[in-house]
Chain A
């Protein structure tokens, strides 16, 4: 159908060959791919739920149960990425299978995006239920309690818990104990540490003391039973695969203490709000990736049509649009970003992304406009005109595909700008609250700056690595697309 197909594919093959000559570019691409994988598979690297667990002879998969539960992953961003865990491999598989024909690649990309987006919307519209709660059991418990006047015992309570509720309790107990012992061995101390396990233990002791003083044997029994049950059940976990790097969910209270930070290695640090630092660092990749991609997509969505209109129609349209571009470019974009985000007062990541996109499209417009001005007088466009094609068909079907490839060289640098803008804004305290964006982490690290800024450097380093890798790819792409370098 398309006679140019062979030529088109060889064009891309040339570009790929040229790109491959750049060692630095290839390293950059590898790093970005690694970051993307870390971003997508972050739950497998850091989560408080095990992947697989054998408990009382049964096999359970808590992490998978909780992947789409909005009570656990409260940000939509995380749900989106968790969905990618399953869809992304299929996409890669499709690309590997059909990479010979351009059409199949395009088709599989479209199918992939449609499936991903519709599944995501479905999950938002019909949220997954909490695996640990079972309405029928709660109801049954209420009816069982109705006739009795005595306090329920622990054994009675456990009767009406489903397996995941029990498992959660046991897991929490076990993991907190593990972390407590780990910290104690790291710090080589027997002193009381403010870990969650210790706090739980102290609280329990206090309640037990009080109940003893009151002589409330029933309630006392409930507590001692519970303690014994937890102790006994945690032995029943025979086999458990935890996430690779960290046993904490980034949104959960990890019970850490930021005053201990100067004694601990970087992988045991604690954020200001007692949350775990390393898992936030891992999930922070997602924020940067999303900012880079969506902000640039918004810029492209505005910039390409505007530039195409200016270049294709020329004349008055061109003059008006060009003046408008000049005006828009003169806006001090970082100041405007800062102002809009500060004034709007809703520190949401999507506001930041859309504002970044809104102020970053002029470069694309200029480029596309120049390209269209060049191409609109070429003979193939005249041929289209004489065939009676409509303007939109000529613009989007014929000129745009020819104008897009050189535009790709701008993309990495645009992504770089967007990512660093977001991080900069967050660094200045205007990021989304309760987010794990690296900029937010750096802002938290700044509070004890200078001197004890342990929290500042890891996110700074990761951000810099990501930005540098993007720049390396951009540089290599530019050379690959430059016909002068092909000699």
Chain B
């Protein structure tokens, strides 16, 4: 058993790694990068469509955003340092003339042109020597050289650290690169751009001073490390390994982790309570049906649970809201049934005593609980019926009855304990399914839990939240499997899984 658990534990990080990889590829290969819908800044200067900023020197915020998410890097492998001089020349020519190539003077589609510009800006840091070569080439077209200067400046200006918590070192670094960036940006003024020879000379000196510090000319091992580390995936993985899941897209002062933990109590309530209720009810009904096997009550309950099992939650939840809650009261009382939310409004809820708050919450979650409960209850009851029937066929049960043990003892000790192996295992393994089910329920009942958070994140394409949620979902289901295995081993001492 030990080795089995060990294998599970070893598999856990591998699984999580694979899930990150799959999600990451899906997110990054999607048409339009995750930031294309970033017209979000209140100043309105983060939009992508500012045409006057050829290499995004104008819209710093957008660039910062992309740098922060590592979107300026290739996805899995970085082969950019080995870009050839010819392609750099061609791309510069394309960006200047907005045409396909000198041999084929078709106009470049606007989208291609935009993409070329963005990609060139992203690559700039890795092709600095080639850009410098263009700048220093007296035969080249001046327009080309000017554009190369722009990209050179972009590539030579690293981004500052962002975020709510910066160390003193990071702040010092920010100040330093701030100065450097200002120096480089001073070459973008029209006068300096006109005076190409002087600019070229100054940039060459700057390059000579800094190329080792910034690793502009990687070789050998450095090239290999750039190949692997200068990628989106590596950036993200290294952040995840330090349990840094990033911040919300619209608010860099809120970390994803905090936001999720804040909401987790709702989801936890809505997952643990139904689990226990399911456990008790399904054992009860399972026994009832198994003991009355092939009697009318067994048949009718069987069909009932099958119907419940097949009814989708997005039919039941609206039904509960509209037909049960709307304009109705709790039975035998005159308390209206709340339509949504986890508690009453803050003004009301804050005034209540502890008991009052509990009572208030119970009123609010009564219907969501039903919506979450019925499906798993139906599935588990059918399972527990089979489990009980299976155990009742065993010889030792017949023996126990034959030797005259009290019925209750046989039911609890002989049948119950053995049947519970299957039931508990299956309920524990359903831990991961909680997320999927509660997503719809939380969205419909307006409960600000984990599922709704994830749904909103998907609609808004909040990159960090989506990644974290998929990861958390996978982690939960793996934990569920682990708990299921452990409880299996605990309940069934005969078991040897090795």
Chain A residues with CB under 8 Å of chain B are 24, 323, 326-327, 329-336, 338-340, 342-346, 416, 420, 423-424, 427-429, 439, 442, 446, 449-451, 453, 456, 460, 463-464, 467-468, 470-472, 475
What separation, in Å, do the CA atoms of A427 and B314 have in the docked complex? 8
Question: Which residues from chain A contact B473 at a C-beta distance below 8 Å?
Answer: 331-332, 335
Q: Which one of A331, A336, A453, A472 contacts B306 once the chains associate, using CB atoms below 8 Å?
A: A472
What separation, in Å, do the CA atoms of A24 and B314 have in the docked complex? 25
Question: Which residues from chain B contact A343 at a C-beta distance below 8 Å?
Answer: 26-27, 30, 34, 458, 461, 466
Q: B488: CB under 8 A from chain A?
A: no
Question: Which residues from chain A contact B309 at a C-beta distance below 8 Å?
Answer: 471
- Structural contact, B478 and A330, CB atoms closer than 8 A: yes
Enumerate B55-109 residues with CB–CB distance to A below 8 Å: none
- Structural contact, A453 and B318, CB atoms closer than 8 A: yes
Interface string of B188-214 (1 = CB under 8 A from A): 000000000000000000000000000
Question: Which residues from chain B contact A429 at a C-beta distance below 8 Å?
Answer: 459
Q: B187: CB under 8 A from chain A?
A: no
Q: Which one of A24, A332, A420 contacts B435 once the chains associate, using CB atoms below 8 Å?
A: A332
Closest to B34 in A: A343
Q: Which one of B30, B326, B339, B454 contacts A335 once the chains associate, using CB atoms below 8 Å?
A: B454
Most-contacted residue by chain B among A329, A330, A336, A453 (CB, 10 A): A330
What separation, in Å, do the CA atoms of A217 and B458 have in the docked complex? 60
Most-contacted residue by chain A among B11, B303, B314 (CB, 10 A): B314
Q: Which one of A329, A340, A450 contacts B318 once the chains associate, using CB atoms below 8 Å?
A: A450
- Structural contact, B436 and A332, CB atoms closer than 8 A: yes
What separation, in Å, do the CA atoms of A35 and B384 have in the docked complex? 32
What separation, in Å, do the CA atoms of A343 and B35 have in the docked complex? 12
- Structural contact, B310 and A339, CB atoms closer than 8 A: no
Closest to B476 in A: A332
Q: Which one of B26, B30, B322, B461 contacts A449 once the chains associate, using CB atoms below 8 Å?
A: B322
- Structural contact, A335 and B439, CB atoms closer than 8 A: yes
What separation, in Å, do the CA atoms of A24 and B304 have in the docked complex? 11
- Structural contact, A24 and B315, CB atoms closer than 8 A: no
Q: Known contacts A345-B31, A428-B443; is A323 also within 8 Å of B11 by CB?
A: yes
- Structural contact, A342 and B22, CB atoms closer than 8 A: no
- Structural contact, A464 and B310, CB atoms closer than 8 A: yes
Question: Which residues from chain B contact A331 at a C-beta distance below 8 Å?
Answer: 19, 22, 470, 473-474
Chain A nearest CB from B453 CB (Å) reads 12
- 26 pairs, CB–CB < 8 Å, chain A vs chain B: A323-B14, A326-B11, A327-B18, A329-B477, A330-B477, A332-B473, A335-B473, A338-B439, A343-B34, A343-B466, A345-B30, A345-B32, A423-B312, A424-B313, A424-B314, A424-B440, A427-B440, A451-B322, A453-B322, A456-B318, A460-B318, A460-B319, A464-B311, A467-B310, A468-B306, A468-B311
Interface string of B434-478 (1 = CB under 8 A from A): 011001100100000000001100110100001001100110111
- Structural contact, A446 and B312, CB atoms closer than 8 A: no
Most-contacted residue by chain A among B310, B440, B474 (CB, 10 A): B310
Question: Which residues from chain A contact B454 at a C-beta distance below 8 Å?
Answer: 335, 338
Closest to A456 in B: B318
Closest to A430 in B: B458
Q: B15: CB under 8 A from chain A?
A: yes
Enumerate B2-33 residues with CB–CB distance to A below 8 Å: 11, 14-15, 18-19, 22-23, 26-27, 30-32
Q: Known contacts A330-B432, A460-B315; is A470 also within 8 Å of B310 by CB?
A: yes
Q: Known contacts A446-B318, A464-B315; is A333 also within 8 Å of B310 by CB?
A: no
Q: B321: CB under 8 A from chain A?
A: yes
| New A-B pairs, 8, CB < 8 Å, besides A332-B436, A339-B470 | A327-B14, A424-B313, A439-B314, A450-B321, A453-B318, A460-B315, A464-B312, A468-B311
- Structural contact, B326 and A451, CB atoms closer than 8 A: yes
- Structural contact, A468 and B310, CB atoms closer than 8 A: yes
Question: Which residues from chain A contact B26 at a C-beta distance below 8 Å?
Answer: 339-340, 343
Chain B nearest CB from A22 CB (Å) reads 11
Q: B307: CB under 8 A from chain A?
A: yes
Q: B113: CB under 8 A from chain A?
A: no
Q: Known contacts A332-B473, A334-B439, A335-B469; is A24 also within 8 Å of B303 by CB?
A: yes
What separation, in Å, do the CA atoms of A333 and B473 have in the docked complex? 9
Chain B interfacial residues counted at CB < 8 A:
51
Question: Which residues from chain A contact B481 at a C-beta distance below 8 Å?
Answer: 326, 330
What separation, in Å, do the CA atoms of A346 and B473 have in the docked complex? 25
Question: Which residues from chain B contact A453 at a C-beta distance below 8 Å?
Answer: 318, 322
What separation, in Å, do the CA atoms of A449 and B318 have in the docked complex? 8
Chain A nearest CB from B319 CB (Å) reads 8
Chain B nearest CB from A327 CB (Å) reads 5
- Structural contact, A339 and B23, CB atoms closer than 8 A: yes
Question: Which residues from chain B contact A428 at a C-beta distance below 8 Å?
Answer: 314, 440, 443, 455
Question: Which residues from chain A contact B435 at a C-beta distance below 8 Å?
Answer: 332, 334-335
Chain A nearest CB from B199 CB (Å) reads 43
What separation, in Å, do the CA atoms of A475 and B440 have in the docked complex? 27
- Structural contact, B318 and A342, CB atoms closer than 8 A: no
- Structural contact, B15 and A327, CB atoms closer than 8 A: yes
What separation, in Å, do the CA atoms of A460 and B322 have in the docked complex? 13
Question: Which residues from chain B contact A420 at a C-beta distance below 8 Å?
Answer: 312
What separation, in Å, do the CA atoms of A472 and B303 have in the docked complex? 8
Question: Which residues from chain A contact B318 at a C-beta distance below 8 Å?
Answer: 446, 449-450, 453, 456, 460
What separation, in Å, do the CA atoms of A330 and B433 have in the docked complex? 10
Q: Which one of A332, A345, A416 contacts B470 once the chains associate, using CB atoms below 8 Å?
A: A332
Question: Which residues from chain B contact A464 at a C-beta distance below 8 Å?
Answer: 310-312, 315
What separation, in Å, do the CA atoms of A172 and B466 have in the docked complex? 50
Chain B nearest CB from A450 CB (Å) reads 4
Question: Which residues from chain A contact B302 at a C-beta distance below 8 Å?
Answer: 475
- Structural contact, B339 and A450, CB atoms closer than 8 A: yes
Question: Which residues from chain B contact A24 at a C-beta distance below 8 Å?
Answer: 303, 306
Q: Which one of A332, A342, A416, A423 contacts B458 once the chains associate, using CB atoms below 8 Å?
A: A342
Q: Known contacts A339-B23, A463-B315, A470-B310; is A450 also within 8 Å of B326 by CB?
A: yes
Q: Which one of A329, A342, A451, A467 contacts B312 once the chains associate, using CB atoms below 8 Å?
A: A467
Question: Which residues from chain A contact B23 at a C-beta distance below 8 Å?
Answer: 336, 339
Question: Which residues from chain B contact A327 at a C-beta distance below 8 Å?
Answer: 11, 14-15, 18-19
- Structural contact, B469 and A463, CB atoms closer than 8 A: no
Chain B nearest CB from A231 CB (Å) reads 46
Question: Which residues from chain A contact B313 at a C-beta distance below 8 Å?
Answer: 424
Chain B nearest CB from A301 CB (Å) reads 20
Q: Which one of B306, B312, B432 contacts A463 once the chains associate, using CB atoms below 8 Å?
A: B312
Q: Known contacts A326-B11, A416-B310, A467-B310; is A333 also within 8 Å of B470 by CB?
A: no
- Structural contact, B440 and A333, CB atoms closer than 8 A: no
Chain B nearest CB from A417 CB (Å) reads 10
Q: Known contacts A338-B455, A339-B26, A463-B315; is A330 also within 8 Å of B19 by CB?
A: yes
